[in-house]
Amino acid sequence: NQVVAADRERQGVAIGGTWNIAPGLALFLEYLWGEVKENGVNLLTGAPGVQNNKVDINVVSLGISFVW
């Protein structure tokens, strides 16, 4: 039996914000979420199959910027 690839779905969300603590000093926070899924395809190897047909990503970024 061969599994047929179909119905690829991609979606994602990115949210971020910056807080100006003082002149020249800022704190930022960002969040990124993404998902890709496709029936009948192993997304890690690219071969036909039903395992690993969904890949998720979650990224959180926190930082400070200086300007002088």
In whole angstroms, what is the distance from residue 34 CA to residue 12 CA? 4
Q: Is the pLDDT of residue 59 over 60?
A: yes
Cβ proximity of 12 and 35 under 8 Å: yes
In whole angstroms, what is the distance from residue 26 CA to residue 15 CA? 17
Q: Is the pLDDT of residue 1 over 60?
A: no
In whole angstroms, what is the distance from residue 62 CA to residue 53 CA? 31
Predicted TM-score of the model (pTM): 0.68
In whole angstroms, what is the distance from residue 43 CA to residue 20 CA? 41
